[in-house]
């Protein structure tokens, strides 16, 4: 599991990051990623981010991640 000091806040990151039209997210198992998995992902270009202190089920976390990204980048507007 990633310690909070090793990850960044998702909302702050999305507000500062200029959307390029592409976003690839990775949701870990309910027990969190192992340090080795985090290291491998970072070497592949992923940035560890946190969606907060609440622990979500893996299948729910993926939907929440998509909703947060779409909301922060303004993709939920009508028309």
Work out the percent of the chain whose per-residue pLDDT is above 70: 86
Is 79 contained in some domain?
no
pLDDT surpasses 90 at 43: yes
In this prediction, residues 24-50 reach a mean pLDDT of 89
Is residue 77 in a domain?
no
> 15 lies in a domain?
yes
Helix, strand, coil percentages (3-state) for the chain, rounded to 5, are 45, 5, 50
pTM of the model: 0.73
Q: Can you give the CATH number for the domain in which 9 is found?
A: 3.40.1280.10
Residue 78, domain member (yes or no)? no
Work out how many domains the chain is built from and give that number.
1
Query: How far apart are the two ends of the chain, measured CA to CA in Å?
Result: 40
């Amino acid at each position: 599991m990633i310690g909070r000091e090793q990850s960044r806040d998702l909302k702050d990151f999305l507000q500062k990051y200029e959307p390029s039209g592409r976003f690839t997210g990775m949701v870990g198992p309910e027990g969190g990623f192992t340090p080795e998995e985090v290291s491998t992902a970072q070497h592949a270009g992923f940035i560890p981010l946190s969606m907060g202190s609440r622990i979500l089920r893996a299948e729910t976390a993926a939907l929440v991640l998509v909703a947060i990204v779409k909301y922060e980048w303004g993709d939920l507007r009508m028309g």
